[in-house]
Structures are given as structure tokens and as C-alpha cells.
């Protein structure tokens, strides 16, 4: 299900590409939204769940987005942005809006005729789930996936049960599913923006481990304070807000407000599945993930100490992989050697201990599934950490999936 809004045009000569990029950038600056362009593709980040994809192909440019996820306020904002882009330069671009919002700027018509119908259909489909089914409403191209749970639906706002959906009023469902429900950026917009970040990005007590995580925490706190400023009666994730304020050594400004959730908020407070091509690695949600070329690095810290640092590189061959790379899995002077056998994966790991002052423990592993293999190097702080890494290796999943921006290195 989708509600689309596109902007497109023909470039008469290749030199017009840079002029078109400048035209888009000028409008984005005016509207105070981020435009990130790399070679022939880019994104305009309008709001949480509201991203416009920009694609250049030879003599053609398209800007496209699905506005159903973020809500009618986002749709109206996209239309206004497209109109600003049209007026910001000489490249002729045409708006393709199935809702025809700019024809009358009637926000109520937009909401009732398109978004209400979308949400009614969505609720009808989801509320029919059984208590044993699992589902995903929407998950973007993040490099991890939350764990599936029986009877629960993964959404950007956290786990939701079919039972809860059946008990909701339509207005409550709107407040839950739309980050930008109304035409203005009101208190609900800022609260839902913060909730998305809390559930999807925040690592809470571990936020101080990187500048990126601290920036996320600061953005959440500022959004919640803005929401509270606009509506003193709006329920908020007060416990999480106060925790982040203490972490940031920031004055707590929100106290006597109803807590929005009874359950613990945040997918990354539990283990999650980090995605590398067709491989899924189960690790702590607060692990620091980065990429060095085709290598994914997962680093687990406790305070200032690095407990484990796992480097994962994948390879794909034209035929099935039969033998292990024995030079890589060198067993000379090994402390331990063990095999891995789970579902459609087989693997072997070798543990070495260096004869240096720190007695560093290195674990080398190779996993094989069909024509693909993973080579894993892991530095461990102690034998207790080695045991935890062994459990991680035994829970890795291989499952073929469609290519997307989260598939790295293969």
C-alpha cells in the first residue's frame, strides 16, 4: 500500500544535471531540509519516515516518495517542497500527485479521501493477525533488524499486538502510525519523531560510546522538550527522557506527565540481527557497527573497555564452497578448535592466544552456506567473552534476501 508523490523532468543535455541539483539544493535550503546527493542518487530527509529519493538517469530526473508511512502532513509538505523546487531554477519539472493537493490546498480532503482510507485498510489487515503470527509493518534500510516476536508487529514505533490494534479508536491509531498527522509540526509531530528515534536508534545507557549516539540522544531530548512546550498534557516517554538528560548532564524539564508506554522502549535494548548481505548476526543492540570497505565491524563495549571487536568479510563464488581455508584457520598452537553446524550453515573456528603482555585472545572463524562464505576475526578481552562470541557464531542465520542498501560487501 502506498500513496505516492513524484517530481520529474527531462534534462535536454547532460550539463543540466548540475543545474538541476543546484535547483533542488536551493529549495531544500529554503525549506531547511537535508539534501544528500552522491553521483546519480540521493535523498532528501524531510522528517522521520519521510524521505524523498532522487534519481538521475541520462536525460531524466525523478524525485519520488511514499507519503503513507509518515502521514498527510508529510504529503502536504512534500507538495510544497516540490513547488518550491519548480520555482528555484530554470529546469522544468512536473509534479505527479495522485491526491492533487496543490489544486486546492484542502488538507481535510487530502486526509479523509486518501490517508483515512489507507489507515482503515492497514488496521483491518493487521488486526486479523493471530497470537502466534509475526509481522513487520515497516522497516527501512537500517543495517539491523529487531527480533521477531509471536503475536507482535514490528513498527518504527515499537512492537504492537493485534489485540491492541483491535482495542484502539481510529484517532488513537492515527496518533500512533503518523509522525506528521496534522498540517503543522505540532506536539504530536515532535513526540512521534522522538519515539521513532528511541525505538530505532537510541542505545540509552550506552549513548556516550560515540558522538553519533550522543547526537541521537540529544535530538530525542530536544524533540520531547519541544513537544512538551507545545502541549503540556501530551503523554511522553518521561522515564527515557530523564535517563537521557542525566546521561547528557542536562537539566530535566519534564516531570509530571503521563508515561506513554508501560513496556521498556527501544529495540536496541535487546539483542538485534545485524545484516551483512544474506547473513544475520545476533549481537547486543548497543554494539557499535561500522564498515571498512567490504568489512563489517561489530564492537561491544562496557564503559571504556572493549570486550569484543568482530570483523566480518563476506565472499561469493560461482560454485558451492566445499573446503575451509585451512591457512586462515591455522590450528598450530591453537587454544581451542570447534565446529559450527546450524540449519544451512557449517563453520569452523580456531582460538589463539598471543604471547604478549596482554595475552590477547584472537578467534578466527569461517562460515559456509552454499556459494557464500564469511571470514570472521574477533579480538576478545577474556575467556568469558570468548564464550559469548561462540554463542554469537552459533546463532548466525543465512537467508537469501533482495538486494538493498543494507547489503554490504557481497
Q: For the residues 375-396, what does the mean pLDDT come to?
A: 95
* Per-chain mean pLDDT for the chain: 93
User: What CATH number is associated with residue 280?
Assistant: 3.40.1000.10
pLDDT band per the 50, 70, 90 thresholds, residue 93: very high
Is 300 in the same domain as 393? yes
Is 97 in the same domain as 120? no
Is 383 in the same domain as 300? yes
- The pLDDT value recorded for residue 25 is 98
* Candidate from 50-54, 86-90, 151-155, 402-406 with smallest mean pLDDT: 402-406
Task: List alpha helices for 168-207, DSSP H.
Answer: 170-177, 187-200
Is 181 in the same domain as 290? no
The three grid cell numbers given for residue 226, joined into one nine-digit string: 519541544
Q: For the residues 5-29, what does the mean pLDDT come to?
A: 94
Q: In 10 A of CB 194, how many CB atoms? A: 28
Q: In 10 A of CB 120, how many CB atoms? A: 12
Q: In 10 A of CB 148, how many CB atoms? A: 14
Q: Which residue has the cell 546450524?
A: 342
Domain-terminating residue out of 102, 128, 158: 102
State the Cα–Cα distance between residues 74 and 118, nearest whole angstrom: 15
Percent of the chain with pLDDT over 90: 83
Q: Which residue has the cell 530526473?
A: 61
pLDDT band per the 50, 70, 90 thresholds, residue 248: very high
Of 189 and 403, more confident: 189
Has residue 315 been placed in a domain? Answer: yes
* Candidate from 191-200, 355-364, 401-410 with smallest mean pLDDT: 401-410
Domain-terminating residue out of 71, 102, 133: 102
- The pLDDT value recorded for residue 354 is 84
Has residue 404 been placed in a domain? Answer: no
Has residue 356 been placed in a domain? Answer: yes
The helix (H) or strand (E) run that includes residue 312 is strand 305-316
Q: Is residue 103 classed as helix, strand or coil in its secondary structure?
A: helix
Give pTM, 2 decimals: 0.91
Of 402 and 298, more confident: 298
- The pLDDT value recorded for residue 360 is 87
Host domain of residue 391:
270-398
Is 153 in the same domain as 222? yes
Contacts of 333 (CB under 8 A, 6+ apart): 352
Is 135 in the same domain as 179? yes
The three grid cell numbers given for residue 17, joined into one nine-digit string: 544535471
Residue 401, pLDDT > 80, answer: no
State the Cα–Cα distance between residues 213 and 220, nearest whole angstrom: 11
State the Cα–Cα distance between residues 327 and 47, nearest whole angstrom: 50
Q: pLDDT digit string (tens) for 335-373?
A: 999 999 888 999 999 999 987 767 789 999 999 999 999
Instruction: Tell whether the torsion through CA atoms of 85, 73, 182 and 226 is positive or negative.
Output: negative
Rounded to a whole number of angstroms, the distance between the first and last alpha carbons of the chain is 30
Q: Which residue has the cell 509534479?
A: 95
Q: How many domains does the chain have?
A: 3
State the Cα–Cα distance between residues 106 and 104, nearest whole angstrom: 5
Has residue 260 been placed in a domain? Answer: no
Is 60 in the same domain as 133? no
- The pLDDT value recorded for residue 141 is 65
State the Cα–Cα distance between residues 276 and 202, nearest whole angstrom: 21
Percent of the chain with pLDDT over 70: 97
Is 180 in the same domain as 131? yes
Q: For the residues 52-78, what does the mean pLDDT come to?
A: 96
State the Cα–Cα distance between residues 108 and 45, nearest whole angstrom: 25
The helix (H) or strand (E) run that includes residue 397 is strand 397-398
Q: Is residue 300 classed as helix, strand or coil in its secondary structure?
A: strand
Is 122 in the same domain as 242? yes
Is 136 in the same domain as 159? yes
Is 98 in the same domain as 114? no
- The pLDDT value recorded for residue 408 is 32
Amino acid at each position: 500500500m502506498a500513496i505516492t508523490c513524484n517530481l520529474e523532468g527531462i534534462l535536454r543535455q547532460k550539463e543540466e544535471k548540475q543545474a538541476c541539483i543546484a535547483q533542488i539544493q536551493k529549495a531544500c535550503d529554503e525549506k531547511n531540509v537535508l539534501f544528500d546527493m552522491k553521483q546519480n542518487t540521493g535523498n532528501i530527509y524531510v522528517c522521520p519516515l519521510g524521505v524523498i529519493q532522487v534519481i538521475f538517469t541520462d536525460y531524466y530526473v525523478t524525485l519520488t516518495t511514499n507519503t503513507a508511512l509518515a502521514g498527510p502532513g508529510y504529503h502536504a509538505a512534500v507538495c510544497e517542497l516540490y513547488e518550491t523546487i519548480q520555482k528555484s531554477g530554470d529546469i522544468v519539472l512536473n509534479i505527479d500527485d495522485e491526491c492533487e493537493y496543490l489544486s486546492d490546498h484542502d488538507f481535510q480532503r487530502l486526509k479523509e479521501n486518501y490517508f483515512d482510507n489507507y489507515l482503515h485498510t492497514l488496521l483491518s489487515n493487521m488486526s486479523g493477525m493471530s497470537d502466534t503470527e509475526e509481522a513487520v509493518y515497516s522497516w527501512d534500510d537500517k543495517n539491523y533488524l529487531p527480533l521477531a516476536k509471536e503475536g507482535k508487529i514490528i513498527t518504527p514505533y515499537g512492537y504492537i499486538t493485534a489485540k491492541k490494534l483491535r482495542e484502539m479508536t481510529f484517532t488513537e491509531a492515527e496518533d500512533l502510525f503518523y509522525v506528521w498527522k496534522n498540517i503543522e509540526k505540532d506536539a504530536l509531530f515532535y513526540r512521534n519523531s522522538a519515539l521513532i528515534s528511541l525505538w530505532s536508534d537510541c542505545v540509552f545507557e550506552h549513548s556516550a560510546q560515540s558522538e553519533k549516539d550522543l547526537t541521537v540522544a540529544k535530538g530525542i531530548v530536544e524533540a520531547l522538550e519541544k513537544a512538551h512546550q507545545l502541549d503540556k498534557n501530551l503523554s511522553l516517554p518521561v522515564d527515557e527522557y530523564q535517563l537521557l538528560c542525566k546521561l547528557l548532564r542536562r537539566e530535566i524539564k519534564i516531570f509530571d506527565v503521563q508515561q506513554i508506554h508501560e513496556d521498556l522502549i527501544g529495540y536496541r535494548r535487546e539483542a538485534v540481527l545485524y545484516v551483512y548481505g544474506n547473513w544475520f548476526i545476533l549481537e547486543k543492540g548497543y554494539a557499535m557497527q561500522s564498515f571498512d570497505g567490504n568489512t563489517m565491524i561489530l564492537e561491544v563495549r562496557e564503559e571504556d573497555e572493549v570486550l569484543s571487536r568482530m570483523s566480518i568479510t563476506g565472499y561469493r563464488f560461482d560454485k558451492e564452497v566445499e573446503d575451509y581455508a585451512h591457512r586462515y584457520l591455522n590450528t598450530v598452537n591453537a587454544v581451542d578448535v570447534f565446529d559450527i553446524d546450524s540449519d544451512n550453515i557449517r563453520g569452523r573456528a580456531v582460538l589463539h592466544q598471543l604471547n604478549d603482555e596482554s595475552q590477547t585472545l584472537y578467534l578466527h572463524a569461517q562460515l559456509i552456506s552454499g556459494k557464500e562464505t564469511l571470514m570472521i576475526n574477533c579480538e576478545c578481552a577474556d575467556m568469558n567473552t570468548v564464550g559469548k562470541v561462540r554463542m554469537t557464531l552459533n546463532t548466525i542465520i543465512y537467508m537469501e534476501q533482495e538486494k538493498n542498501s543494507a547489503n554490504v560487501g557481497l
